Structure 1
């Protein structure tokens, strides 16, 4: 359970640092809330007139919760002062723009665990009502203007496509001249197809990034994707740049009748266009051959959906019927109806999965010298400091070797979120 679609894109826009309201507008929004107690905080700014921020609107709906994490577009290199790093202290949004990651990965779960299911329901109901009122006043619609790239961008994409075609022609020429480099152990045909497919498949990512850079930060299509309410970068890339390589079963479109994919091409044509590469975008429109290629992959997607639904549904039923008699006994073990032990502790750790949270832990990436520099204390307590540092070395090694199995991770899972407990206490 989380915030989705209209409410998500609305709360994302509401918490932008540029969003401000007069006293009357602030009250008109919060009158829709179940949780507002009627108190009005001091305005976020007073010059030239008193104005309240969108972050203050959301703060009025929150209980005294603590949260500190980056949102979906936060760049770790920019640090915690970046506007995309969210800090909620004692129920007040002090910094950051809320998006799907904040709600899905943290906030709703924290409200449920630290407060109550009823509190969580009231917050979601209030947020949805307040954001709906905000969107009615501010408006949010998507149109063709959100998908028009500038001329320079279109020229860049066209130039990249021209270079791409030259690469494919070069690979074809190597095959025809007998100088194709194949050290894979596969046949030349298989290796050729693999190289061409990989080259073409990367094109949509590169062209998509070029197209996305041309769109303004307040572009409504980008806004939906960045906040996580709907769509992905790939959808925008296909609309403004190109559809890219169409694939069936992970390969380029195979020959049909008469040794060609469609009647529009010559026999044995292995070029990009003839094997399902679409260089048009949805805004530009597809030519007939491109339309047919796109329909082929669309049909595969429909069939996959139908088949996978039946397979996964049957698999789920088998799991449910197999485990329906399992229960947790008073001694903590999991047993079946006959009393046979399936697990000595539920989930091997005896903890409800609904309570588990990711907790940041930074010592794994620190070298010995960095740990000494950070944790060494004054000379008066040098002996105790050395013992403490030795214990940190041991803890770090146990984490990396026994918990993360050699990987260097940043989080551990636990039902007790220590950083939040400490932050709430102080």
Structure 2
């Protein structure tokens, strides 16, 4: 007998009604059905370091993490995260009270927003933004307030308008959600921009949540500067990162939060009712990964830089306007030089036209018209795959 449902009330919580199937699922399905090269979703097509994979195997065989790990994360990983923050940025955290392990950065963001927001609180986020931000703000009952990054005509860099940011703060603003290096534009916020954000947060007594998952993927003259290192920010900043992007094990879902004890305790209070714990054996492996020598991080960055330049050259030759990223492993392009204006229509047709899948940036905007002509490509793929994708995209110009 069919289950009875009420026609007067939709089944999906109204806070999530605007969020359907993610664009990533739609485009990945298109890649599968057409045999197109998937440069849409941001996952590598090769695994990370063999010694780190073997570390996970050792943990499995030794029975470490096969049962529920400690709620805050295994001590070895929490200690490794604290050591990483100290070595890289001079930030000192207590592994027992100021570090929390999560099921990837996505859970860290969800738990943080659920913990820190009350219904009606406003959250300022820089659009275009990772799609889970909007959903997590909605689930927490908050109101998102977008501040738009726009390409600068002189250098093509997507820049933050600091006056627009300041004007967006109201008496209802609870926190700023900052992503740098920034997905999808590839912008890395400068010291001047971060200083202004920090001064605003202190002046208006705002909390700040920073998504820093691409912290080890910065190129050229860019530098990743954690906002928690700026004056007055350590006690009001929840810093989030993860292992997936840095070590190319995205399926392991190991992320973390660092912050002052009160903030981390609040986030843990929400996190314990989400996954509770996750990724037990992988936590031990990531602890070893974070202790890899600097040569690993340098080689990883150099490899991605070469891939960025390869795909950027191919996209330019195909007729796109290319915004060369200073960070992440994504390239944003403008399709208007190709005579196109609608990123959704362009991306849905691209697998048949050129055998390549990309993502329309408009899905990352509240102001859809601002993102309409922009399309994102991922370059975290094998060199031969990127070469073939560039070749296929070259048919667009013809």
TM-score of Structure 1 vs Structure 2, range by shorter chain: under 0.3
The structure with the largest strand share of the pair is 2
TM-score between both structures, scaled by the size of structure 2: 0.23
TM-score between both structures, scaled by the size of structure 1: 0.22
Greater relative contact order (Cα < 8 A, sep 6+): 2
The structure with the largest helix share of the pair is 1
